[in-house]
Structure 1
Amino acid sequence: MKLTNIIIISAVGASAALALPGCNMYGKFKMSKQSELTAEYAQALQQEPDPMAFGNMTWQQVFTDPVLADLINQALQNNTNLQNAKLNVDIAHAQLKGARLSFLPSVALAPNASVSHFENGPWTRSYQIPLSVSWEVDIFGRLLNTKRAAKETLLQSQAYAQAVRSQIISAVANTYYGIATLEQQLELSRSTAENWKETVQVMRDLKEAGRCTEVAVVQSEAQYYGIQATITDLEVSLNELNNTMSLLLNVMPQTWAIEPLSMLPMPQIHRDAIPMRELAARPDVQAAEHALAAAYYTTAGARSAFYPSLNITANGGFTNMLGSMIVNPGKFFLNLAGQLTAPLFSRGANIARLEAAKAQQQQQLNTFEYTLMSASAEVSNAMTLYQKSVEKQQLVNVQVADLSKAVDYTQDLLKVGNTSTTYLDVLTAQTNLLGAQTSEITARNNQARALINLYQSLGGGR
């Protein structure tokens, strides 16, 4: 077959493929607008992202503590999960490279030589140096859709790596403030234990003076030992969080020098709802979108299997074998051929592959919609938690201030012998103050965690 005829057949085949209605083998992926959710998402993608949005801030802008920033940098360099996610990106890169190179012809060189001898005849030597070239003309988009699917898989792996990065940053920040919280709770508990030790002595003195009973002494001692027991629990929790930080940084377990809880700068975020454009910036949403696009191209590739494939082969080289004759010196030879193969009956294999591809594409669409709804719920929860944690922090601060005054008042009244004040009033006031102070520290940590989780839920971590 002449090369010009092959080219004509290729052009005619491509034109026919484009003219076939409903084949959809060349079209690029577009987000479905069949549901209100996906239609809103598709519209949001047309909008420019807001560079001032909280989720679009770099993590260095959010976490300004230099100690925390250093820990995050170490985790981003050493964390095993992130390294594996990056390796998945490398794998997807290699697969995309292979898909792109499949458009090029394959070339093979297979030189051979032989020596033969028949009875009473001379020795004959023959040789061939053949070069073969084979090229698949992608008339119906099989290679094109394979390449596009590989590209979407690459983008999906990149989005997943970004999601892992975001999770690691948030985990390090949460662990950092968790350690700082426990350090401050330990500091408070140890200080309170010393104060209770003094209270026990005061109760003993009052008992000696006949102003309280042995019951008061025993109850004050019980409170003191209860605080000591709490200290041991806090030390266990602190050790566990130190080990968590070590795992995040991929180092052997060690104790991390982190100061007691300091306040994380709180940006003013007052919005009743988060725009869809910000949800679209989440890496898990982007990964789900690319998975859907890859499934779309897989379906398109399955459709192309119903149509003919065209292969052009060329063989040439140098040989001294001309049929059954041996000539010296050898001659150059060239052979060019085209092959058009159309599937007539494949025992339902192509139909099965297409139906499976369609079902998998629908699965990916369902997964995408669920991921988008889950993202919306996560952001809503994080936003509410952040706003309420700020309110709670303010209320607990007032509570601690009032209870501190109550402790001072009851202690003073008891010391001056006020008959309306008993040892029970002092114990109750001190217990209430310790609980409120612990709640104040916890509320401050919850406020920091709420901000961190909100940042992560908005796709932060760039």
Structure 2
Amino acid sequence: MNNRYATVGGANKGLGLRAVAGGVLLALFMTACSVEPTYQRPQVDVPAAFKEAGPAAAPGAWKPAQPSDAEPRGQWWTIFGDATLNQLEDEALAANQDLKAAAARVRQSRAALAAARSAWFPEIDAGFGPTREHPSPASQFLPQNTNMPTATLWRAQTTVSYEADLFGRVGSNVSAARADSQQSEALYRSVQLALQADVASNYFQLRELDTERDLYSKTIALREEGVKLTQHRFDEGEVSELDLSQAKNELATTRAEAVGVERQRAAAEHSLAILLGKTPAAFSFAQQPLVPVTARVPPGLPSALLERRPDIAAAERAMAAANARVGLAKSAFFPKLDITGAFGYESATLGDLFMWSSRSFLLGPFAGTALTLPLFDGGRRKAQLAQARAQYDEDVANYRSQVLTAFREVEDSLADLRLLDDQIRAQNDAVAAAQRAEHLSQTQYREGQVNYLDVLDSERSVLTAQRQASQLAGAQAVSTVTLIRALGGGWGDVSAGAASATSTQQVAKQ
């Protein structure tokens, strides 16, 4: 039986090699026939300048956006000149669990891309073992009624299989996986930017609450002095019990409001701990009243927003992946070419398996190729193509919506900062006026010109005005962070501090 196989193989060897060569040439020719649509980034309406940037911002020339979301943003939070914030940002980037999860998703997408690229190469396997078979007489070029015995064949062979990239099926799959990987990296940068902004926002909110705590501590001390003074005057018969009761009520009310601020501060401290990857029990923040933020961020050109925003880059990469999958769905309508072959040894006995005369080779059907042409599937491929096109249309709409959202967020932040400047100036005037009214009311009360209720009203007005001024200062700091986040973590060519590590290095460390 071994000799018979060898004879057949030798007689057809030349024909098989020519067929294989012809199949390979055909595959190379058909590889160029990709049916994937040419990808073009959809056009979006980009204004010449931001509405809230004011006349001082030169509109400049509009230019098509070239995504640069992968460029290092630098440590943008260093513009606040706060060493504590710098330390918190470093801790968050090293330990935040959401960022670690995003990094793991990036590694998953890169592995999926590597798996897709593997289809460019042949698959080689090795096998060893016996098979029980009964060959037909026709397969051995024997008369029809020849009695063929059932035999056990031992085989030790290497198998090679390769799918020719007909009509770009493999290429489209690789393109889709590559776009998916790039989208995952953009989403990682989006999570990273959101984390950095959330840490800064929580930090400034915490410090603003510390300012309120400080205000309440001073106010409570003044209220206690007022109660002592009123008690003394009541004991001397200078004032009625009503004044004493009002003073005690105001002290108790102020203490209750101070506890409310403590509750807010505890919640803010816990939130910051989670961002740092710590349990609330393992993190405490010393009281540190807020210093007004004076940093100013140039908005730059609107077209640059499309380059730096990682969420926009992620939406654009989703479109590219959907476009590639349209080509993948189209390729299912066309023939598929698989090239297979095997070479090794086979023998009826294990002892003769590795003899030179036991060598054999096998080529797939149709002289080394298996060309399959789909004919009917009940409309499945047509439905899959329609689904892929609809997915692309959805991603286009999502991309344009994300761009509009980005413009709105920048305009909102610019408007907040512009109006907060005016509001803070007006509130500072209100604080000064309230403090003057408090001084006058206390003087007039000592002289017996007004009752104690007027004094309480003026003191309450001072505390309210000071709290509002503190809250506005906190809102200004948070709005500055929000603007930086809306701009994609950077602006123009301004470099804020040392450049951070590239996203590839950061992902590798997660």
Q: Spell out the pairing of 1:125-140 with structure 2 (5 A cutoff).
A: 127-140=154-167
Task: Report the CA distance between 1:70 and its aligned residue.
Answer: 1.2
The aligned residue for residue 291 of structure 2 is 263
Alignment partner of 1:148 is 2:175: yes
Alignment of 1:306-385 (within 5 A): 306-320=333-347, 330-336=357-363, 337-385=368-416
The corresponding residue for 1:32 is: 42
Offset at residue 151 of structure 1 (A):
0.9
User: Which protein has greater RCO, CA pairs closer than 8 Å, 6+ apart?
Assistant: 2
Letter in 1 for 2:75: T
Contact (CA 8 Å) 2:306, 2:403: kept in 1 or not? yes
Higher alpha-carbon deviation: 251-260 or 390-399:
251-260
Partner of 2:472: 443
Aligned residue for 1:140, secondary structure, equals helix
Q: Is the 8 A contact 1:212 1:423 kept in 2?
A: no
What SS class does the counterpart of residue 163 from structure 2 fall into? Answer: strand
SS of equivalent to 1:45: coil
Larger mean CA deviation between 432-441 and 64-73 belongs to: 64-73
The aligned residue for residue 107 of structure 2 is 90
Equivalent pair of 1:180/1:258 in contact (CA under 8 Å): no
> Distance between the aligned counterparts of 2:327 and 2:307, measured in 1?
25
Residue in structure 2 matched with residue 6 of structure 1 by the alignment: 23
Secondary structure (helix, strand or coil) at the match of 2:120 reads coil
Which residue among 325, 328, 332 is the counterpart of 1:298?
325
With over 3 angstroms needed to count, the CA separation of the structure-2 counterparts of 1:328 and 1:85, relative to structure 1, is: closer
Structure 2 runs not aligned, ≥5 long: 1-15, 50-61, 134-150, 491-499, 501-510
Specify whether residues 86 and 328 from structure 1 end up closer, same or farther in structure 2 by C-alpha distance, changes over 3 A only.
closer
Letter in 2 for 1:248: L
1:387: Cα distance to partner?
1.8
- Name the SS for the 2:488 alignment partner: coil
Structure 2 equivalent of residue 423 of structure 1? 452
Alpha-carbon deviation of 1:224?
0.9
Give the ranges of 4+ consecutive aligned residues of structure 1 lying more than 6 Å apart after TM superposition. Answer: none
The AA in structure 2 aligned to 1:140 is F
Q: Kindly provide the CA deviation profile for residues 53-87 of structure 1, in whole angstroms up to 9, marking residues without a partner as x.
A: xx955334334311121111111111111110100
Give, in whole Å, the separation in 2 of the partners of 1:364 and 1:37. Answer: 19
Residue 390 of structure 1 corresponds to: 421
- Change in 2 beyond 3 A, CA 1:48/1:107: closer
Determine whether 1:80 maps to 2:97.
yes
Q: Deviations over 1:172-226 (max 9, x none)?
A: 1122122212222112112111111222233334445555433222222211110
SS in 2 for 1:102: helix
Alpha-carbon distance in structure 2 between the residues aligned to 1:428 and 1:143: 78
Inter-partner Cα distance in structure 1 for 2:287 and 2:354: 90
Q: Partner residue of 1:120?
A: none
Q: Is contact 2:77-2:200 (8 Å) kept?
A: no
Separation in structure 1 between the aligned mates of residue 315 and residue 67 of structure 2, nearest angstrom: 19
Letter in 2 for 1:32: P
Alpha-carbon distance in structure 1 between the residues aligned to 2:298 and 2:470? 24
Structure 1 residue 295, shift from structure 2 partner: 0.7
Q: CA deviation at 1:257?
A: 2.7
SS of equivalent residue, structure 2 residue 155: strand
Output one character per residue of 1:372-422: Cα deviation in whole Å (capped at 9) or x when no partner. Answer: 11111111111111222222222222222222222222222322x153x33
Q: Normalising by structure 1, what TM-score?
A: 0.86
Given the alignment, which residue of 211, 232, 239 partners 2:259?
232
Q: 1:61 to 1:432 in 2, by over 3 A?
A: same
When the two chains are superposed, the root-mean-square deviation of aligned CA atoms in Å is 3.0
Of 212, 215, 238 in structure 2, the residue corresponding to residue 185 of structure 1 is: 212
Structure 1 residue identity aligned to 2:461: N
* 1:269 shift after superposition: 4.2
Contact 2:65 2:306 in 1 (8 A): no
TM-aligned CA distance change 1:14 to 1:253, over 3 Å: closer
Q: Distance in 1 between matches of 2:183 and 2:115?
A: 17
- Percent identity reads 23
Assess if the C-alpha contact under 8 Å between 1:105 and 1:133 holds in 2.
yes
Tell me if structure 1 keeps the 8 A contact 2:154–2:353. no
State the distance in 2 between where 1:112 and 1:428 align. Answer: 97
Residues 1:210 and 1:326: Cα distance change in structure 2 (over 3 Å)? closer
Q: Distance in 1 between matches of 2:155 and 2:298?
A: 80
**Partner-residue secondary structure (3-state), 2:328:** helix
Distance 2:398 2:178 in 1: 20
Shift of 1:449: 0.8
How far is the alpha carbon of 1:238 from its aligned partner? 1.6
- The aligned residue for residue 59 of structure 1 is 76
Task: From the superposition, tell whether residues 137 and 354 of structure 1 become closer, same or farther in structure 2 (CA, over 3 Å).
Answer: same
User: How many residues are aligned here?
Assistant: 436
Q: Distance in 1 between matches of 2:389 and 2:287?
A: 56
Match of 1:381, as an amino acid? D
Q: Distance in 1 between matches of 2:227 and 2:360?
A: 108
Closer/same/farther in 2, CA of residues 36 and 410 from structure 1, 3 Å limit: closer
**For residues 214 and 443 of structure 1, what CA distance do their matches in structure 2 show?**
39
Secondary structure at the counterpart of residue 277 of structure 2:
coil
Judge which range, 56-65 or 295-304, deviates more.
56-65
